[in-house]
Amino acid sequence: MMGASFVKDRLFPVMTILLAILAIWYVAAYSMNAPFQRDFDRRAGETRTGTEFFMATMSQPKPTMPAPHQVAENLWKNTLTVKPWSKRSLVYHSWVTLSATLLGFAMGTALGVVIAIGIVHVPALDRSFLPWIIASQTIPILAVAPMIIVLLSAIGVTGLLPKALISTYLSFFPVAVGMVKGLRSPDVLHLDLMRTYSASRAQTLWKLRLPASMPFFFASMKVAIAASLIGAIVGELPTGAVAGIGSKLLAGSYYSQTVDIFAALIAGSIVAILLVSLVDLVGRLVNARMGAKTP
């Protein structure tokens, strides 16, 4: 698995795409920053060579489009050169967002599983509940999030929980839909088999439906945890920008700190990649424990 094939099969394609993105990014940064630089130089009466002009577009303090190395430098400075618990640290802000994400994800997953179990076992719920669940997801979260935050703060609930609830709202849906499919995935033969044992519904659920739903469970959790992160970030936007990746994004846009915005976005992406990879890893471990046909 490791060694040559890892480099060839995994690293090479990823690096190719990364290089392509960086190239496009640099081109975009130059062409978007150039008009401002030209304007600036004309007013200052400065004449530059082509190379000097290019370098200037790459190092503006508040660029329209920050160059990759500016973002990388900002990330480096705000993660590794400051204490992780300082307010300037992206690690601190990521942690704030992450804790809301994880709480919301846990609640959303639990809610999704409970709803799915209900839908699979109670025909009335199947008919009455599913349309509402789907409708709940058509409401733009950006419109709902401030209302939730404001309403909850009016009754004295502030801090982690309101953000986590927005994550819950976004993450229960993929889990519910995936688990309904997963819990219904055992074939008739296995259901007949449980019937010949006179198994109760609870036994059929524990010994047949839930184990059979595991692949669906992990697939939907991957979607749900990414949705949870988005929920937590959106939840941080209207909280008066105290802490979290969302607040960094908001502060960055208030003060036109485009480099900060991009650094916060990258920090958010890294958290997302870590979370999805973690769910994937746990999924693989569970799969292996359940005797999956993998070498």
Q: Site map for another protein, 164-193, x if CB under 8 A?
A: -------------------------xx-xx
Residues 66, 89: Cα–Cα separation, whole Å: 20
The yes or no reply on residue 285 touching another protein (CB under 8 A) is no
Residues 78, 90: Cα–Cα separation, whole Å: 6
Q: Which is nearer to another protein, 81 or 196 (CB)?
A: 196
Stretch that binds another protein, among 53-61, 63-71, 199-207, 274-282 (CB under 8 A): 199-207
Smallest distance, another protein to C-beta of residue 189, A: 5
The yes or no reply on residue 202 touching another protein (CB under 8 A) is no
Q: Which is nearer to another protein, 42 or 195 (CB)?
A: 195
The yes or no reply on residue 288 touching another protein (CB under 8 A) is no
Burial bucket for residue 141 (CB in 10 Å: 0-12, 13-18, 19+): middle
Residue 74 burial (CB count, 10 A) = 21
The yes or no reply on residue 294 touching another protein (CB under 8 A) is no
Residues 245, 94 contacting (CB under 8 angstroms):
yes
Per CB under 8 A, the list member of 30, 207, 251, 276 interacting with another protein is: 207
The yes or no reply on residue 14 touching another protein (CB under 8 A) is no
Per CB under 8 A, the list member of 144, 152, 160, 199 interacting with another protein is: 199
Q: Which is nearer to another protein, 81 or 294 (CB)?
A: 294
Residues 122, 131: Cα–Cα separation, whole Å: 15
Smallest distance, another protein to C-beta of residue 178, A: 18
The yes or no reply on residue 290 touching another protein (CB under 8 A) is yes
Judged by CB under 8 A, the number of residues near another protein is: 19
The yes or no reply on residue 208 touching another protein (CB under 8 A) is yes
The yes or no reply on residue 211 touching another protein (CB under 8 A) is yes
Per CB under 8 A, the list member of 81, 132, 154, 293 interacting with another protein is: 293
Stretch that binds another protein, among 37-45, 78-86, 204-212, 219-227 (CB under 8 A): 204-212
Residues 218, 278: Cα–Cα separation, whole Å: 11
The yes or no reply on residue 198 touching another protein (CB under 8 A) is yes
Q: Which is nearer to another protein, 203 or 256 (CB)?
A: 203
Residues 258, 62 contacting (CB under 8 angstroms):
yes
Which residues in this chain contact another protein in the complex, by CB under 8 A? 189-190, 192-199, 203, 207-208, 211-212, 214, 290-291, 293
